[in-house]
Amino acid sequence: MCKPALVARDPNNTLDSAGFPLTNSGSVVTSTAGGVYIHETDGRTNAVQAKALGVSVPVENYDYFYDKFGDQAQTLPNAGKPIVGSDLAIHWYSGDLTLTEANPWNLTDTEKIIVFVDGNLTIDDTVSGENRITTVATGGDAFLMFIASGDITITSRVGYSDIYTNPAAANIANVEGVFIADGLLTIAGVPGTTDRKFIGAGTFVGWSGVALERNFDDGDSPELNSNAATEAFVFRPDFIVNSPKKIKSAQMTWREIEPRF
């Protein structure tokens, strides 16, 4: 059975919006077995065109951003969302940080927060919570970004038990924001079960690799993988528009061309 791991839609429900998982020197893993094919190996072993390869992109990782404006960061004392105004707030957390339904980060349409996590970032939920752990309101200039020097893991408990949950619906994403890990970005699953459907909105980067481990096949219902996407990533163009100037950089390519007179 083929596994439709990715879909992309913008908040305006535009069809065919592009969504790309990126990795520099790693690979995009689409099963707990460690395979790097979008389709399961026993279903399309010759699907070379579906193999997820690394690409050559600028390494804008933890050190890159910290060198630019890390000296302006204030210490984040705990996992709770800090009280901020309408100005950009930059914070730094030492050690591993875990966000849960007990301390959700719900940003209004005027709040802008960047957090450096000098360690691993974990996003978790209760067993059957189906909560939205981080949200960023639309309609203003809101922005949320986590940059981890280690791994970013979204546990198997984050998501919806209904695999047909519509990712294009309003106020539905479990996790919203820009998430960058120097290490591995993992959407964790549980082998041998019908995993929850994960819906993320924004940008998700794992510089050492991306592991999409969700699977709807519990051993008895493999066809569920053909019916719905296990992990859905929603395009949020407002995050690009609202990106603070501090994190932006101009990408230029120079080449010599034949002069015309």
What are the domain boundaries of the chain? 28-79+86-247
**Cα-based angle 228, 8, 18 (whole degrees, multiple of 5):** 135
* Series of mean pLDDT values for 10-residue runs along the chain (261 residues): 41 48 64 57 48 60 95 96 96 98 96 98 94 97 98 98 95 97 97 95 96 93 91 95 88 70 65
Per the CB < 8 A criterion, the answer to whether 230 and 30 are in contact is no
Amino acid found at 21: P
* pLDDT, position 61: 95
Work out the widest C-alpha separation in the chain, in whole angstroms. Answer: 70
* pLDDT, position 2: 38
Per the CB < 8 A criterion, the answer to whether 88 and 246 are in contact is yes
Half-sphere exposure (CA, 13 Å, Cβ side) for 123? 30
Amino acid found at 70: G
Question: What's the pTM?
Answer: 0.77
Half-sphere exposure (CA, 13 Å, Cβ side) for 125? 23
User: How far is CA 232 from each of CA 9, 76, 174, 200, 246, rounded to the nearest angstrom?
Assistant: 9, 30, 10, 6, 29
Q: Distance (Å, rounded) from C-alpha 168 to C-alpha 233?
A: 10
Amino acid found at 218: D
Per the CB < 8 A criterion, the answer to whether 187 and 3 are in contact is no
**Cα-based angle 247, 253, 256 (whole degrees, multiple of 5):** 160
* pLDDT, position 259: 73
